[in-house]
Structure formats: structure tokens, C-alpha cells
Amino acid sequence: MFGFLARRILIAIPTILLISIFVFTLQKLLPGDPVLAMAGEERDPEVLEFLRAKYRLNDPIHMQYFYWIGGALQGDLGISLRTQQPVLALIGEKLPVTIQLAVMALSIALVIGVPAGVISAYRKGTWVDWLANVVALSGLSIPNFWLGIMLILLVSVKWGLLPASGYVPLSEDPLQSLQTMIMPAFVLGTGLAATLMRHTRSAMLGVLKSDYVRTARAKGLGERVVVVKHALRNALVPIVTVTTLLFGELLAGAVLTEQIFTIPGFGKLVVDAVFNRDYAVVQGIVLCTAVAFIAMNILADAAYRILNPRMRDD
Amino acid sequence: MTAVTDAPAVPQRPRSRVWTKLRANPSALLGAVLVIFFVVVAILAPLLPIPGPLETDWLAVRKPPSAAHPFGTDEIGRDVLSRMVWGAQASLLAGVVSVLIALALGIPLGVAAGYARGWTDAVISRVTEALLAAPFLILAIALAAFLGPSLTNAMIAIGLSAMPVFIRLARGQTMTVMTEDYVESARAIGLSHLAIIWRYILPNIFPPLLVQATLTVATAIIAEASLSFLGLGQQPPSPSWGSMLNIAKNFLEQAPWMAMWPGIAIFLVVLGFNLLGDGLRDALDPRDH
């Protein structure tokens, strides 16, 4: 396993380098002089020249890239123009909020998606299967920001059951934290539940046709044991892989969900950075999410090998 | 009659077989009906007997649905139905154009990688992997932010973000087709690379790309609505479903209808493309032939 992980990490290095080039080039393609943006109202040529020298903007572009990536490798992704905080510190500050939202959303998705997929596969061709498929496809087609707006309208405005916005850290008041996060987590979780349902159904359909399930039935085992212990356990391999790969969807979904429910997380940081033209933050976010996405891919591969004994000897 | 029934069945051509399977699939038909409905509405927008999408009526601000305004009015008295109809143009245009951008860039790059292999493949594949590593919407938001907020830039951002999937698909399909005997024969008789690609590769990699394109239109419509919702897509006062929702969220208590209709429209059109895409995938699945 160690050799496998080392190999995967080595393969990921050129990909990460390419992403860094892409992210760096994006900023360079921007129209206008970045020094003028930094200097604000200041137009003194000496000040502008000082800033150019300070940020090494007079150096050739490839040298500028090496300075930037050198800093990034040491955890220096630049300074936010808006808050004057280091970008990495900003990301580190907002990430726990989004992680809480993501964990809750994923839990909801697993609780709904996996059983629905199992039942749908087991009852293939019946109205239960049809209904599960319709609900799943609807879940994939509903824009989650609209679902969020509608839930705020019903649950918060009309019924007054849950707060419409805000965030309370889990460490401060766990109950209130869960109350503020349950609705956003549900909004974020529904689309993922639909994806998980479709993958679980597909995996279970394959497994239910297999010889070992037929053998288990022939041995006289109960249907519950056959489905849960024999079929689902084997279908879990692709389900775990897909769940790990849902990371990207979770992050993207969090951008809009946090915006609607005014949650001060990673997603809101993206939007605020975009509107304040805080490009160092946008660059840092794209780089960090890409690295995290690659790490999740490697984890998915590792999980696949751990869960699938046939892969371990390869 | 018997003679006719007993006659050996004429083998169906692949295209008509796909069409027959598609017609027999109620979900795909429902998808097609939904898509056609919205396309017709978007095209006929200028001819429909509705007020202009920018016409304001200060005496009818945030009025609930009525005979005069079946979907109600918005915060400055514009007819919500009219803005929905004109918004369909923006949403469908964004969905289709961004997928066309992704196809126009993705197919040549994917085919080049799969056909030439070697260094071309290595470079294109590494770049594709790098682009795939950034989550779709985050990449689209970042690109839209750097390009500046407008519907055109949103389409470019979505198209570029969707492109890697098409590169990967076209590359994989090209590599599969390249192992077929007819490609070998074409090479043996000395056809040029371009001729082989045009006559043998492209027509055979088309079906899976069509399925992917249909499903990506659905994703692109949601992405455009998301970008417009964030203020990075269609700019006011021009209507788009996403930007309508962006404004509507500020008037949830006073005018809930403003938020209801655009969401239902996005849901229905995306559902339509998803159903159609699923149906096409089933109809084109070679394992069923």
C-alpha cells in the first residue's frame, strides 16, 4: 500500500504543477496594471516603482512564477487585498465551518441515498424502483440554491421552525449549531443523495445477479442477510469510491448554499473574494481545492484497494 | 397479410433502431417534450402576447398572480411571466453555447490525443487531469471572476470548465475506434490522417459524445443560473432565471412568487435534458443491440 500511495503522489505532482501554472497565468491575463490596483489612489511614479520592485513585477514572467510557487510551497499564498490577512490563514479560518456543513450534508446523503438505492435495486422494475428513480432524477435537477430559498420560505418564514441564516460554532453551542446547519446540510445533501442512490442502485443490480448471492440464497439464508451481509457489503466498494469523489460537488454546492444561508465558510469566502476582486484569495482557493481534490482521488483509490481484496496484490 | 408478416425481418439501420428505442421510452419522450416546449417558448418570445421583459408598471409593484399578470409582478412592476419567457432564451442559449464551446475545443484535443498518442497524448492528458482537478463550479466561478461578469463570459467560463470531460471522452473513444479493423484498413490503403479522422473516427465517437453533451447542457443551465444568481452571469436589467432568483431572495416574505417560477422553470428544463440524456444513453448502449 505504501508503494501504491508513493506512486500515486508522484503522479500527482506534475498535475499540481500544471494547475499552479494555470492559476498563475489566470492572474497574468487580467487586463490592467496590478500595481495600480494595489496602490489605490496613489499615483506617485516612485511609489509605483517601489511596489513593482517589491513584488518583483519587473522580473521575467517565468521568474515571477518561480517566486510565487516557491512561496506557495512554503504556505505563502499571498495576502488578501481586502482583509490584509495571509490567504492560507483565511482559508484555514473558514474551512472548519464548511467541513461541518459537508460532513452533515454527506451524512444526510448517505442515510437517504444508500438505502434508497438498495431498495430500488432489490425491487427493480416495480413502482418503488420507478418512484426512487424519479425522486433521484428530480434531486439532480433541482438547483440547490432554489431549494434553499424555498425551504427558507416554508420552514423559516411561514412556519418559524428553524433559523433562516447565521452560524453558531459547534464548540460554542452544539444544539444551536445543529439547528442553524440542518437546513443548509439538507439542501446540500439532496443532490448528493440522488447521485449516491443512482450509484448504489447500479452497484447493487450487478451484485444481486452474482453467483455468491445465488449461493447464499440456495443455502437458505434470509433475504435480509443476503441483501445486507452479502450483496451490500460487496456493492460498498464503488459506493465508498463515489462518496470520496463527491468532495468536488460538496465544495461547489457549498459556495451557493453558504451564500443563501449566510454561513461564513469557504464557499462564502470564494464569492466575497470574487466580488472584491481579491484575486490572491481566488487563486489560493482554486489551488487549494485542486490539491484537496487530488488528495481525495488518491484516498478513493486507496479505499478501493482496501475494500477490494483482489486489487491488493496488483 | 400473412406473407408480409412471415417475411424475414428487414434489419433496422442503427439510426432508426435508436429512434425506435427512444420513442418506446416514456421518460425520454417526456424529456424531449419538456426540452422542445422551452425551446419553442424561447424562440417565440418576441411573438407572444406578453408585455416586454423590461416594461415597468409602478402601479403594479410585487402584485401576486392575477389575470393581467399570470405569474405576478416583480419589485419594480415588471411582468414575471414575460421575464420568465425571455429568461428562457438566456438559460437555453447559455446551456447550448457553453456545451458547443466545450465540444469545439474538447473533440479536436481529445481526438488528437487518442490518435497521435505519444507526447501529444501525454501533454493533453496531463493538462486535462489538471483542469479536472478543480471542481467544475469553482473553476467556472474563478474564470467568470477573471473574465468579468456577463452572460458571454459566463458561457465561456462554463464551456472551458466543461471541456476536460469531452477531451477525456473523445480521447478514450478514439483509442477504442483506432483498434477497429476498418481503421487499420483505411491506414493500409494510405488514407491521410485527416481523412481517417473525418470519415471513420468522428462518426464512430459521436454517439457517446452526444449523450454527454445532452447531460452537460443540463449541468450548464444550472451552472449559468448559479453564476447569474451570484451576479456573475446575465447582468440586470436583462432577464435570466438565475438573476431573477438573486433578486427574488430579497423579497421572499412580500413576493414569494418571484422566487417560485424561475426555480420551477430551471428544474423542468434541467429534468428534460437529464431524462433525454438518460434515454439517449439507453438507446445508444451497444450492449442492448
Please check whether residue A263 is in contact with residue A177, taking contact to mean a CB–CB distance below 8 angstroms. no
Q: Is A18 in Cβ contact with B226 (below 8 Å)?
A: no
Q: Is the confidence at residue A268, as pLDDT, over 60?
A: yes
Domain at A88-311: CATH code: 1.10.3720.10
Q: Does A87 touch chain B (CB under 8 A)?
A: no
Measured between beta carbons, the chain A residues lying within 8 angstroms of B249 are: 149, 260
ipTM confidence score:
0.84
CA distance A135 to A141: 10
Alpha-carbon distance A221 to nearest alpha carbon in chain B (angstroms): 33
CA distance B138 to B227: 10
Range A179-202 burial, b when 16+ CB lie within 10 A, else e: ebbbbbbbbbbbbbbbbbbbbbbb
CA-nearest of A8, A34, A26, A62 to A287 is A26
- Cell digits of residue B262: 424561475
Q: Is B126 in Cβ contact with A14 (below 8 Å)?
A: yes
Most A CBs within 10 Å: which of B34, B132, B226, as the mutation test of the A interface?
Answer: B226
What pLDDT, on a 0 to 100 scale, did the predictor assign at position A180?
A: 93
Show me where the domains of chain B are located: 92-288
What pLDDT, on a 0 to 100 scale, did the predictor assign at position B10?
A: 45
Domain at B92-288: CATH code: 1.10.3720.10
Strand partners, A166: none
Most A CBs within 10 Å: which of B150, B214, B222, B224, as the mutation test of the A interface?
Answer: B222
Please check whether residue A231 is in contact with residue A207, taking contact to mean a CB–CB distance below 8 angstroms. yes
- Sorted by sequence, the CB contacts under 8 Å of residue A16 that are 6+ apart come out as A290, A291, A294, B130, B133
CA distance A289 to A226: 40
- Residue type, position A309, single letter: P
φ and ψ at B133, to 5 degrees? -70, -25
Q: Is B278 in Cβ contact with A143 (below 8 Å)?
A: no
Q: Is the confidence at residue A286, as pLDDT, over 50?
A: yes
CA-nearest of B167, B252, B265 to B212 is B167
Q: Is A274 in Cβ contact with B218 (below 8 Å)?
A: no
CA distance A56 to A77: 15
Q: Does A130 touch chain B (CB under 8 A)?
A: no
CA nearest to A152 within chain B? B252
CA distance A163 to A166: 7
Alpha-carbon distance A259 to nearest alpha carbon in chain B (angstroms): 8
Q: Is B143 in Cβ contact with A143 (below 8 Å)?
A: no
Q: Is A249 in Cβ contact with B259 (below 8 Å)?
A: no
Give A 223-282 residues with CB within 8 A of chain B. 247-249, 251-253, 255-256, 259-260, 270-271, 273-275, 277, 279, 282
Q: Does A34 touch chain B (CB under 8 A)?
A: no
A152: DSSP letter: I
Show me where the domains of chain A are located: 2-73, 88-311
Q: Is B232 in Cβ contact with A138 (below 8 Å)?
A: no
Kindly report, residue by residue over A34-88, the tens digit of the pLDDT. Answer: 677 667 776 788 888 888 887 777 888 888 888 888 888 888 888 887 788 899 9
- CA geometry: angle at B78 spanning B75 and B81, to 5°? 115
Q: Give the side-chain half-sphere CA count within 13 A for B4.
A: 1
Q: Is A29 in Cβ contact with B138 (below 8 Å)?
A: no
Please check whether residue B271 is in contact with residue A137, taking contact to mean a CB–CB distance below 8 angstroms. yes
Which carries the bigger pLDDT value, residue A104 or residue A248?
A104
CA distance A161 to A148: 15
Alpha-carbon distance B72 to nearest alpha carbon in chain A (angstroms): 17
Alpha-carbon distance A149 to nearest alpha carbon in chain B (angstroms): 7
φ and ψ at A86, to 5 degrees? -60, 140
- Cell digits of residue B218: 443540463
What pLDDT, on a 0 to 100 scale, did the predictor assign at position A12?
A: 85
Beta strands (DSSP E) in chain A are none
Per-residue pLDDT of chain B (289 residues; tens, 9 = 90+): 334 444 444 445 566 777 888 888 888 999 999 999 999 999 999 999 899 898 888 888 899 999 989 999 999 999 999 999 999 999 999 999 999 999 999 999 999 999 998 999 989 988 888 888 777 888 888 888 778 889 999 999 999 999 999 999 999 999 999 988 999 899 899 899 999 999 999 999 988 899 999 999 999 999 999 999 988 888 888 899 999 999 998 898 889 999 999 999 999 999 999 999 988 988 887 655 4
Kindly report, residue by residue over A211-233, the tens digit of the pLDDT. Answer: 888 888 888 888 888 888 888 88
CA distance A250 to B221: 19
CA distance B156 to A67: 30
Closest Cβ opposite residue B127 in set A18, A149, A297: A18
Closest Cβ opposite residue B263 in set A14, A146, A291: A146
DSSP A115-169: HHHHHHHHTTTSHHHHHHHHHHHHHHHS-HHHHHHHHIIIIIIIS--S-SS----
Size of interface A-B (CB pairs under 8 A): 129
Measured between beta carbons, the chain B residues lying within 8 angstroms of A11 are: none
Helix pair angle (A87-122, A247-260), 10° resolution: 110
Residue labelled with grid coordinates 495576502: A79
CA nearest to B135 within chain A? A248
Q: Where are the alpha helices (DSSP H) in B117-231?
A: 118-133, 136-147, 151-178, 181-188, 193-196, 202-230
Residue A287: how many other CB atoms lie within 10 Å:
23
- Chain B residues with a Cβ under 8 Å from any Cβ in chain A: 126-127, 129-131, 133-139, 141-146, 218, 222, 225-226, 229-232, 245, 248-249, 252-253, 256, 259-260, 262-263, 266-267, 270-271, 274-275, 278
CA-nearest of A134, B218, A155 to B226 is B218
Measured between beta carbons, the chain B residues lying within 8 angstroms of A249 are: 135
Helix pair angle (B151-178, B118-133), 10° resolution: 140
Measured between beta carbons, the chain B residues lying within 8 angstroms of A145 are: 225-226, 229, 245
- Sorted by sequence, the CB contacts under 8 Å of residue B249 that are 6+ apart come out as A149, A260, B259
Please check whether residue B164 is in contact with residue B107, taking contact to mean a CB–CB distance below 8 angstroms. no
Alpha-carbon distance A143 to nearest alpha carbon in chain B (angstroms): 6
Kindly report, residue by residue over A128-164, the tens digit of the pLDDT. Answer: 998 998 889 999 999 989 999 999 999 998 999 999 8
CA distance A89 to B20: 59
Range A29-53 burial, b when 16+ CB lie within 10 A, else e: eeeeeebeebeeeeeeeeebeebbe
CA nearest to B275 within chain A? A137
CA distance A261 to A86: 26
CA nearest to B131 within chain A? A19
Please check whether residue B204 is in contact with residue B177, taking contact to mean a CB–CB distance below 8 angstroms. yes
What pLDDT, on a 0 to 100 scale, did the predictor assign at position A50?
A: 84
Q: Is A274 in Cβ contact with B129 (below 8 Å)?
A: no
Alpha-carbon distance A198 to nearest alpha carbon in chain B (angstroms): 12
Please check whether residue A247 is in contact with residue A296, taking contact to mean a CB–CB distance below 8 angstroms. yes
Closest Cβ opposite residue A18 in set B130, B226, B256: B130
CA distance B161 to B104: 13
Q: Is A137 in Cβ contact with B278 (below 8 Å)?
A: yes
Strand partners, A79: A86
Sign of the four-CA dihedral B264, B143, A298, A253: negative
Residue A224: how many other CB atoms lie within 10 Å:
8
CA distance B161 to B133: 11
Residue labelled with grid coordinates 449541468: B219
CA-nearest of A63, A62, A35, A72 to A50 is A35
What pLDDT, on a 0 to 100 scale, did the predictor assign at position B73?
A: 93
Q: Is the confidence at residue A298, as pLDDT, over 80?
A: yes
**How much is the average pLDDT of A90-117?**
92
CA nearest to A143 within chain B? B222
Q: How confident is the model at residue A119 (pLDDT cuts 50, 70, 90)?
A: very high
**How much is the average pLDDT of A285-307?**
83
What pLDDT, on a 0 to 100 scale, did the predictor assign at position B6?
A: 47
φ and ψ at A37, to 5 degrees? -65, -40
DSSP B53-116: TT---TTSTTPPS-SSSTT-B-TTS-BHHHHHHHHHHHHHHHHHHHHHHHHHHHHHHHHHHHHH
What pLDDT, on a 0 to 100 scale, did the predictor assign at position A8?
A: 83
Q: Does A293 touch chain B (CB under 8 A)?
A: yes
Q: Is A256 in Cβ contact with B226 (below 8 Å)?
A: yes
CA-nearest of A97, A206, A93, A196 to A139 is A196
